[in-house]
Amino acid sequence: MNSVTTRFAPSPTGHLHVGNIRTALHNWLLAKQAGGRFLLRIDDTDSERSREHFVDAIREDLDWLGLSPDGEERQSARFDDYEREFERLAAEGRIYPCYETPQELELRRKVLLGRGLPPIYDRAALELSEARRAELEASGTRPHWRFKLDHASPITWQDGIRGKQYFDPAQLSDPVVRRADGSWLYMLPSVIDDIAMDITDVLRGEDHVSNTATQIQMFEALGAPPPRFAHEALLTGAQGKLSKRIGSLSVSQFRADGIEPEAVVALLARIGTSDPVDPSLGLDELATSFDLTRFGRAPARFDEAELDRVNTAIVHGLGYDAVGQRLPDGMGEAGWEAIRPNIERVEQAGDWWKVVKGPVPLPPADDETRAYLAEAAVTLNEQDGGDDPWHALTGALKAATGRKGKALFLPLRQALTGRDHGPDMALMLKLIGRDEAITRLWSASGRE
Ligand code: GLU
């Protein structure tokens, strides 16, 4: 297989958080850039903790972000394959049974640490005599299984982000691949899947670096060339620390906060690089410019304030076609165009639409202002409206009263919208409509 195939492999034991979303996005971008495939692999070997509603949520989240997979696989449907490969490796002696209890292992760990030694599994299970093993089996002790690392083959790979990596397998514990109850740990099934699904590139967090070292030997043991690997730096909060908030930032939280998927994507595509975030870039453009070598090894900072800024820029660029369905009934293109520059979230359009529709609170006004507003009502009533009633009105009032600047505009804005700031009044007046505007000016003037 020459073409690129990547996978995103979440465990359905919770909602995707921002770190998972970054991994999914980067795998999507890597695949699409090469015209390749992006697979969703549901890592649900842990039937105790996996939940179907989380699987649905993962699909929905990817869909909302625009990261639709080209195929979906489930580990729980592939147990036969794992069993077959397991038998093969066990027959070859690359997987071996171990009978230690967790307490025994913990004790040995402590002893080693106490002596200042690394807590590497001592392979005591390999020394068991046949007779002792038979005895243990006869007493009903079920073994767990470890993959036997080849100590004679140093492990190296060229990491797409971290550069050349080197591990001495003798410094690693043989990883447990299967529990005594027959259930699978993540390590071996993942490799079996990566081979079966022709995965060419594994891009994941740096918490998997040492897993990669042992998995590379599993690829070799299974007779397959390892894929390319790249490990991304951890995502931290703006303060540079791992924050609880980062762990809880999910797609549903973004949605609840009124964040657009384009903003999440634009920010997460560039986070960890020194390249600027460009709110105008969509997924396809981001794929074209995606470059793993731009990512550094320093922790990538996720700054919610930056997400807000990117989101606002995106909202300001959204056309009516893109948001029409999310706007209040009756709010047409002119309404959106008028209000768009004054909001940071699409949902805030509704607040301004209420201002357009009224009623609006009466502003406190002194006698002089009330007289001015009465004059404004009369003036607006006398004018024929024309194309630009606001400039016609304020032009006439300026000439008649000598008011200018704030004294000219602010009382009108307050009377018409009930607020001191807001969208362009020339557009607002047209949306409010001439008759309603006269009514508002008149009631703010205190005249009945
Ligand atoms: N289910 C694993 C995880 O979420 C997948 C890791 C991988 O990408 O291989 O950590």
Q: What is the CATH number of the domain that holds 259?
A: 1.10.1160.10
* Predicted local confidence at residue 239, as pLDDT: 73
Specify if 438 maps to a domain: yes
Burial of 387 (0-12, 13-18, 19+ CB in 10 A): exposed
pLDDT of residue 2 exceeding 60: no
Tell me the CA–centroid distance for residue 9 and ligand 1, in Å: 5
Tell me the CA–centroid distance for residue 10 and ligand 1, in Å: 6
List the structure tokens of 413.
């804005």
Q: Is 425 in the pocket of ligand 1 (CB under 6 A)?
A: no
The span from the CA of 394 to the CA of 15, in Å, is 54
Q: For tokens 């997924």, name the residue.
A: 283
Q: Using only the alpha carbons of the chain, give its radius of gyration.
A: 32
Q: What is the CATH number of the domain that holds 403?
A: 1.10.10.350
Q: Is 10 in the pocket of ligand 1 (CB under 6 A)?
A: yes
Same domain as 210, residue 146? no
Same domain as 164, residue 285? no
Same domain as 385, residue 416? yes
* pLDDT (average), residues 173-182: 97
Which range marks the domain in which residue 267 is found? 244-317
Higher pLDDT, 384 or 445: 445
Specify if 329 maps to a domain: yes
Output the average pLDDT for the chain: 95
Same domain as 76, residue 18? yes
* pLDDT (average), residues 341-348: 97
* Predicted local confidence at residue 242, as pLDDT: 63
Tell me the CA–centroid distance for residue 428 and ligand 1, in Å: 52
Same domain as 423, residue 406? yes
Same domain as 380, residue 336? no
Q: Whose CA is nearest to atom 6 of ligand 1?
A: 9
pLDDT of residue 126 exceeding 80: yes
What would the pLDDT profile of 253-273 be if each residue is shown by its tens digit?
A: 999 899 999 999 999 999 999
Same domain as 293, residue 273? yes
Specify if 362 maps to a domain: no
Same domain as 162, residue 214? no
* Predicted local confidence at residue 132, as pLDDT: 95
- Nearest alpha carbon to residue 427 among 351, 342, 334, 310: 334
Q: For tokens 């008028």, name the residue.
A: 338
Query: Which ligand 1 atom sits closest to the C-alpha of 204?
Result: 8
DSSP per residue, 39-75: EEEE----TTT--HHHHHHHHHHHHHHT---SEEEEG
* Predicted local confidence at residue 295, as pLDDT: 95
* pLDDT (average), residues 78-99: 98
* pLDDT (average), residues 370-388: 94
Q: What is the CATH number of the domain that holds 33?
A: 3.40.50.620
Question: Which 8-state DSSP code applies to residue 294?
Answer: G
Q: How many domains does the chain have?
A: 5
List the structure tokens of 291.
């470059």
Q: For tokens 């993962």, name the residue.
A: 58
Q: Which residues, 6 or more positions from 303, have their beta carbon under 8 angstroms from its beta carbon? A: 237, 238
Same domain as 342, residue 372? no
* Predicted local confidence at residue 448, as pLDDT: 64
Same domain as 325, residue 313? no
pLDDT of residue 368 exceeding 90: yes
Q: What's 385-397 look like in SS3?
A: CCCCHHHHHHHHH
Provide the pLDDT confidence category of residue 246 given band limits of 50, 70 and 90: confident
List the structure tokens of 48.
């105790």
Same domain as 270, residue 135? no
* pLDDT (average), residues 418-433: 97
List the structure tokens of 392.
């016609």
pLDDT of residue 438 exceeding 80: yes
Tell me the CA–centroid distance for residue 224 and ligand 1, in Å: 20
Q: Is 204 in the pocket of ligand 1 (CB under 6 A)?
A: yes
Specify if 18 maps to a domain: yes
Mutate-to-test residue for ligand 1 from 27, 74, 190, 228, highest number of ligand atoms within 8 A of CB? 190
Tell me the CA–centroid distance for residue 230 and ligand 1, in Å: 13
- Nearest alpha carbon to residue 44 among 182, 155, 183, 224: 183
* Predicted local confidence at residue 245, as pLDDT: 73
Provide the pLDDT confidence category of residue 243 given band limits of 50, 70 and 90: low
